[in-house]
Structure 1
Amino acid sequence: MPERTHILHLTERSLWDVAREHGAYRMSTRGRTLEQEGFIHCSTSAQLPSVAAFLYGSYEGPDELVVLVVDPARLDVPVKYEASEPGAEKFPHVYGPIPVDAVVEVKPWR
């Protein structure tokens, strides 16, 4: 499947490691779970740099940051492109856990 159809999620490696142990990824965004937020925040490749700057800035945590490359065709939950307010840029939101087999690649972030 062409990469342009993939959506991306930036996270800490330890959170991805937990997801691999449990079979699904359940974090929405930095410090917030799927259950707290209602969906998992994702981005396109063009949106990722600004999302990384906003969420992680000059992150110096104990974990390496990684980008989960998600194939939406492998999800069994809805993906909706939504804006935080009318007229704002739309981002992909995954309305449920991301099964580990929907993650087709894990790349280090910078």
Structure 2
Amino acid sequence: MRIFHIATLADWTDAQASGAYTTSTVGVTLEEEGFLHASRADQWEGVRARYYADIDEPLVLLEIDTDLLDVPVVEELPAPGATETFPHVYGALDPAAVVTVTRL
């Protein structure tokens, strides 16, 4: 399955150098949140509009092949009262699981 994550170019560049992507969302680490936020193909544009519209730094869209992950992915409701599920990645993302990087 393919899932998507919006990242700052700086965070993605750091992940490639270190071998692990650990930013849950802008300004929030995996350690703080407990998982990495992700989206399905039909969701990422809405996520970008809602949560990344005010971000001035360059962004990239990471396309992740879940078959290449060595950590669990769980479909979950993002907040109380929500009806739409989102994939959450429970662990650091190995850059090798990212099959496409698109500049946004």
Normalised TM-score (structure 1): 0.88
Residue 80 (str. 1) matches residue 74 (str. 2): yes
Is the counterpart of residue 68 in structure 1 residue 84 in structure 2? no
Q: How many residues align?
A: 103
| Superimposed CA distance per residue, residues 51-77 of structure 1 (whole angstroms, 9 cap, x where no aligned partner) | 00111114323xx11001101001111
Letter in 2 for 1:29: T
Alignment partner, residue 10 of structure 1: 6
Summarize deviations over 1:22-55 as a string: whole Å, max 9, x none. 1010000111000000000000111011100111
- Report 1:25-40 matches (<5 A): 25-40=21-36
Q: Percent identity?
A: 42
| 1:15 shift after superposition | 0.4
Task: Give the TM-score normalised by structure 2.
Answer: 0.93
- Report Cα offsets for 1:71-109 as digits up to 9, x if no partner: 100111110000023552000000000001001110011
Aligned residue number for residue 21 of structure 1: 17
Name the SS of the counterpart of 1:67 in structure 2.
Answer: strand
Q: Secondary structure at the match of 2:99?
A: strand
Match of 1:43 in 2: 39
Distance 1:60 1:101 in 2: 27
Alpha-carbon distance between aligned partners in 1 of 2:36 and 2:13, rounded to the nearest angstrom: 17
